[in-house]
Structure 1
């Protein structure tokens, strides 16, 4: 293999990787998730491990947790299909029969395709008006367009209704408008070019948009502009107005402000948004296992390392230690395994 002597840095790395057939793997290696593709993966060995863990004398929970929390979502799906082919049994049903409580729910979430898990969480949230704002906003605002598209397709298939219809019937006001707009998946993608004129126009539009009749301006800008652009809009707005945009939201929307404030916090700093949600879930009298499980699983392959860093920075204690102190029972080992490590 010859390498041009003038090449350095990323270009040299790309050339070497291309010769090795690994050029398309760099994005996966660069993830800020805690869970990576297991390099020594053997689907047959994992099937045998899980079969012994279920069928032996006494359920071997530690083996089940060890296998499922050390494989990527894609690898877990391969295990599930292979288990069905080799044993004529459904792995998910077999594990549900063997386990119970919070650990059972965590294992079910780990084994489900991401789109199905998101669809079920979205459905649950829309049926429970108390959590619609937080869970529906979380899912619709933080998934990539392809993930969102797949989630909504599964939602329609599994529940025989469009998610948009449930949003219309179960929510109201600006929350409904935001969720419906987000569900269309029309947010612009970041192209790497800064549009200073558009940022200026958006700041002026938000400044002028007063009263209920102008909420459409807020909804359009918050749900269609890409996050990188919106962060610039937020900063520019503060420079011009002398205060954060969130203050204006509270003053203009009063009791309806929370939905916009939640979306603004997602846009400003997504890992911090999730760190806050995890902290609140851990502060409840009984930890909110559903929230802990959903966030740790859904972010484990994307940005959980960033979430851990924001958690430690804001609350002065690591997420790992916080989980150790608050979570009890068999579920603790699974959640700690997803969190992965202590932050010193």
Structure 2
């Protein structure tokens, strides 16, 4: 049975499990997420059910979906650790996922993710980033990985807004690459709320959106990362709504993006993402998933999405 374009049944559980460390570890109660803590959680029992469901001649898709779509991130990460120890299945990532995670997580969440990475792979994540990337893309990711983004205090600093807007417009030329490093520093250290105001001031003062200048200053993966940062800072739910829309539009679906976003945002702001999706595209995320996916793969995604938006 086909589970979706590019997704066979054997990879379903592994693909969802591979995204679990990327999910935010925020309590579901009182948030705009769709997943809440599973009462009576028993990690050993869940791992046993998953193992029994996956091995053998045919996968028990219902059992897999029941476990993976009804546990919180914290609960699923416990399952992942035990499941990995039994099956020896490692986890990977890609440039898009790396950019997304480092661009949209809080300092605390980044510390937890990087600590999990170091514990699981017995490797320094920053060294691995440096080895596997290059150029401005590497500098952006390393700056984000340091987790030095300022928190929003609720106080609007108009002087700093003007200062940052001017720094982006004229970052100086004392050394080669000084301008790009100024952009990276501001984009990776200021709070999203502050940056949104800086973007508005930049447009007001210089008649340009920051995205226009990014496209002139940066190329390749560096440009992609800076544009992702700008989009996430302007409106995080809309940023994820666009990623989901891009994943389902056109021929085929980007299965990894669909799973990663739905899993990682299901406890925090998936309701807001659903709302932005409907607002921007005139149809609900739930309906799109019904049309673009099928079988047990579809059932897994719909269980995470939870409901139709009328």
| TM-score between the two structures when normalised by the length of structure 2 | 0.78
Quote the RMSD (CA, aligned, Å): 3.2
Aligned equivalents of 1:291 and 1:48: distance in 2? 25
Q: Which moved more, 1:158-167 or 1:192-201?
A: 158-167
Distance 1:53 1:222, change over 3 A: closer
Partner in structure 2 of residue 250 of structure 1: 215
Q: CA deviation at 1:179?
A: 0.6
Q: Give the conservation status (yes or no) of the 8 Å contact 1:203–1:237.
A: yes
Which ranges of 4 or more aligned residues in structure 1 deviate by more than 6 Å? 55-58
Higher helix share: 1
Instruction: Identify the match of residue 209 of structure 1 among 157, 171, 187.
Output: 171
SS at match of 1:30: coil
Structure 1 186/275 Cα, relative in aligned 2: closer, same or farther at 3 Å?
A: same
**Residue 238 of structure 2 aligns to a residue in which SS?**
helix
Alignment check: 8 A CA contact 1:49 1:63 kept: no
Which has the higher relative contact order, 1 or 2, with Cα contacts under 8 A spaced 6 or more apart? 2
Matches within 5 A, 1:94-243: 120-121=91-92, 124-125=93-94, 132=95, 134-209=96-171, 212-243=177-208
CA distance in 2, matches of 1:50, 1:182: 37
CA shift, 1:52, in A, is 11
* In 1: Cα distance, 2:170 partner to 2:301 partner: 46
Shift of 1:75: 4.0
- Pairs aligned (count): 278
Q: Distance in 2 between matches of 1:315 and 1:330?
A: 26
Specify whether residues 245 and 267 from structure 1 end up closer, same or farther in structure 2 by C-alpha distance, changes over 3 A only: same
Say if 1:50 and 1:64, in contact at 8 Å, map to a contact too: no
CA positional deviation for 1:47: 3.8
- Note closer, same or farther for the CA distance 1:281–1:44 as it changes in structure 2 (3 Å cut): closer
Aligned to 1:37: 37
Q: What SS does the aligned partner of 1:330 have?
A: helix
Gaps of 5+ in 1: 1-26, 85-89, 97-107, 109-115, 126-131
Give the C-alpha shift of residue 46 in structure 1.
10
Query: 2:172–2:179: 8 Å Cα contact kept in structure 1?
Result: yes
Correspondence for 2:296 among 330, 339, 342: 330
Question: Displacement, 1:210?
Answer: 6.3
User: What is the match of residue 61 of structure 1?
Assistant: 61
